[in-house]
Every structure is written in C-alpha cells, then in structure tokens.
Amino acid sequence: MQHAGGETALVTVERKVGSTTTCVVRPNSTGQIGRLVGSGSSYVAENGLLLRASRLPQTAFGYLLTSRTAGFAALPGGSAGNLCLGGSIGRFAGQIQSSGAQGQIDTIVDLTAMPQPMGAVAAQPGETWYFQLWHWDSSPSGPPTSNFTASVAIDLR
C-alpha cells in the first residue's frame, strides 16, 4: 500500500483470528448459542482486531468482556448463561451496543487499551486474551435476564 508521503506500509489481514474455546455455554432466547468470531489481525503492532457477536436476540444490548485467563462460572448473578472468563475481567462498557434487527454486535478492540479492573493495559505479543460478549436476553418464564456468547481465545503476535 503506497501512502501520500511515499512510504509503503504492509498490513497483515487474517481471515479468522482466534479460536472458540471449549467452555460450555447455553443457548439464548433465540434457541441458538451466541457466536463470537475474531477477524482482522492478531498482530499487536497492527492494532486491527474486530470481534463480531452473532446469533443474538434482536435489539438486545451487550458489550464485550476480556481476560488473560479462561474460567467457568455457571449462571453468574442470575444470568441464563455461563461465563467462560476468569481472573481479572475487563469490560468494554464504553462500547455498549444494540444487536439491532440482525442480532449482531461488532466491537473494534483497541489492543493498546485493553480494559481491566484497575485501568486499561496494552496487550503484548505472546499473550493470550480471552473474549466473550455479555448481552441482555429474555426469559420465557420469568423476568428479563442476561446471557453470554461462546468465548474465543486470541494468541497475540
């Protein structure tokens, strides 16, 4: 790619970034398990990671969670789903979005400012980060609740 200043930039675009973990998750009110897929680049220097959550209920609000540790918590806080992250869990709470009519949420991940409980940190090559989307959901037999997508592990380079 040629820039106006004459410099040439090389950008690595990977088709699919990361892998779904083996953590057991539960279907949401659509009857499906929410999916989370990474795309763009797992290279920290390129800072071009996008995570897409799909198979969500329509117009459900949600946001991404992240941790350097995988984990498992069944039905946390009365949720209808399972949390697949452990350790210090960061929230992309400033990026709350609606799944809209498509039942999908896209989150651009800034690898230079990964949210953590004590403040944002820069991700480093060689680290593995785990992600999961937490979203509002409906319950056929009770009050509104929340659920989680499948989780994904991304090995950063």
Can you tell me the distance from the alpha carbon of 8 to that of 22, in angstroms, rounded to the nearest whole number?
A: 41
pLDDT digits (tens, 9 = 90+) for 23-51: 999 999 999 999 999 999 999 999 999 99
Can you tell me the distance from the alpha carbon of 61 to that of 104, in angstroms, rounded to the nearest whole number?
A: 10
Can you tell me the distance from the alpha carbon of 29 to that of 10, in angstroms, rounded to the nearest whole number?
A: 43
Can you tell me the distance from the alpha carbon of 99 to that of 133, in angstroms, rounded to the nearest whole number?
A: 11
pTM recorded for the entire structure: 0.89
Residue 122: predicted pLDDT: 98
Residue from 124, 126, 129, 131 nearest 150 by CA = 131
pLDDT digits (tens, 9 = 90+) for 88-135: 999 999 999 999 999 999 999 999 999 999 999 999 999 999 999 999
Residue 89: predicted pLDDT: 98
Residue from 97, 138, 92 nearest 116 by CA = 92
Residue 139: predicted pLDDT: 77
Helix (H, G, I), strand (E, B) or coil at 78: helix
The single residue listed with the structure tokens 């209808």 is 80
Q: In CATH, what number does 34-155 get? A: 2.60.40
Residue 2: predicted pLDDT: 45
Helices (H) and strands (E) in the chain, counts: 0, 13
